[in-house]
Chain A
Amino acid sequence: MNYLRSLLQFRRLVLLVILLSAWEFASRYILDKTQATLLPPPSGVLNGAMELSASGELWKHVRDSLRREFIAFCYASVAIPLGITMGCFKWLNEQVDPIIEILRPIPPIAWIPLSILWFGVGNVQNQFIIFLGIFFPILLNTIDAVKNVEPSLIRAARCLGAGNWSVITRVILRAALPQITTGIRIGLGVGWMALVAAELVGANSGLGFLINDARTVLRTDFILTGMLAIGLIGLCLDRIIRYSAKTMMPWARSLNS
């Protein structure tokens, strides 16, 4: 029975398999040689992926990209205390909000030219771009989460003897956590996209660099491998956060649905 159920799981992949087969077929038998160089078959991409991974080059780039994402996330997590303070104190929100509203619509990618001039090509510039991608979703979700905390929960805490600090740490922070996690999830996604863009133009390593570098030597199989790696890692990041949020906060209905 269990065996059957796990088999059923694969039915969702039917279309994917058909498309991959069509691609394989087209690339091998329909496209001419030049065109096939531009669109190698899935088997060719797989070979390229094996080659890159065997030489260790793929892992080096993955590691560099992930490290940048992680470091940028560490910096961007100041958005959490900032968002909580902004949500709690109206006067601070009034001052900071206009600045954020102006900065927020500027895509992280638009910062690339300026950031290259500021930081040069390399880690710092990349991390800055990713930072911008992660920071705003976390900040906006945190502010929103704090504003949406049930007022009766705060009252309940107060009439049980909680002071301001206890209300913030024991109630507001906890009640806001599910939505803050959503902010982190969105932020890491935006950051990951911004990362690749930043690496395309301003890095000597990383997955963005890998696919741009492969372009110059016409290794389309490497380009596709890199793109696939970007997609899969983005998916994994998202799933990991979703999963850990679910296990750590079983009470948060918004995440369970």
Chain B
Amino acid sequence: MLALKVEKVKKIYPSLNSKGQEVLALDDVSLEVNKNEFYSILGHSGCGKTTLLNLIAGFEVPTAGYIECAGQRVDAPGADRAMVFQDYALFPWLTVYENIAFGLKIKRMASAEIKKIVDHFASLVGLSQFVEHYPHQLSGGMRQRVSIARALAVDPTVLLMDEPFAALDAQNRSMMQSEMIRILDEESKTVVLVTHSIEEAINLSDVIVVMTRRPGRVKSVIRVPKPRKMIEDSPDYLVIRKQIRDLISGEHDDSVTM
């Protein structure tokens, strides 16, 4: 079953550069995302992967083509496509509890129901002890957990993640990746993640979408064999990593972390 459909999407930015030329950021991008599967969009910085995510979120509108979420045409942001941001984007004036409850209050849920949901997701991300804390009292990894809980709480059709672990140090990053796998085992979700880390994409994804450089096009769609968490150094892992590396290095840029 399709959760998300991106159909022949093109995005042109009017004259971002000094010459007054239009910039073709995305060209003819089509993508079908199955329900309860994890998709990673992988590419160099500047390949338009974040643009694609912003289009799916509805923050921007495509110049041509369209996007459908659960059969509904996307034309504005909505809670069916909640996003986890690289800089967490937590509301600093709200406690962890209130941050997770934010979308539920917008939905005008009864407070008893809100409490049930918030408690569930706070414990899912391991922050039950910290619900009364403010974001500035938490570490980066904990803040990102709040952000994930906040996005999951509104029960989105698709969970969007924009380089969510890029701001964390290496140790926290790999811990958060394992956490993400654990969370998705308990809470099956459709996820679209944007990343420039091949390892992260392989560790988390069912499907990896490799993009070309400007203009961004889908270069290749690779299905990662299950189980999701492959042992690093296993033959399968090495084969797929080599395959993706070759695809990426064909794009001539060393900004991709190996």
Contacts and interface: CB of A to CB of B under 8 A. Distances in A.
A253 interface: yes
Interface of A: 150, 152-153, 155-162, 166, 170-171, 174-175, 177, 249-253
A27 B82 CA distance: 73
Contact of B102 (A155, A157, A175, A251): A157
Contacts of B151: 159-160
Given A159-B57, A159-B82, A161-B79, A166 B106 contact: yes
Interface class of chain B by DSSP = loop
Contacts of B92: 175, 251-252
Given A152-B87, A175-B93, A253-B136, A159 B102 contact: no
A155 B79 CA distance: 11
Contact of A156 (B76, B78, B89): B89
Contact of A160 (B58, B87, B93, B150): B150
B78 A171 contact: no
B93 A161 contact: no
B134 A251 contact: yes
Give the interface residue-count category, chain B.
20 to 34
B136 A155 contact: no
Contact of B83 (A155, A174, A175): A155
Interface string B88-125: 01111100000000110011000000000000000000
B59 interface: yes
B83 A250 contact: no
B85 interface: yes
A156 B85 contact: yes
A159 B81 contact: yes
Interface string B38-64: 000000000000000000011100000
Please indicate which of the listed interface residues B85, B151, B160 has the most CB atoms of chain A within 10 Å of its own CB: B85
Given A152-B85, A152-B87, A251 B136 contact: yes
B57 A250 contact: no
B59 A158 contact: yes
B85 A155 contact: yes
B77 interface: yes
Contacts of A166: 106
B154 A155 contact: no
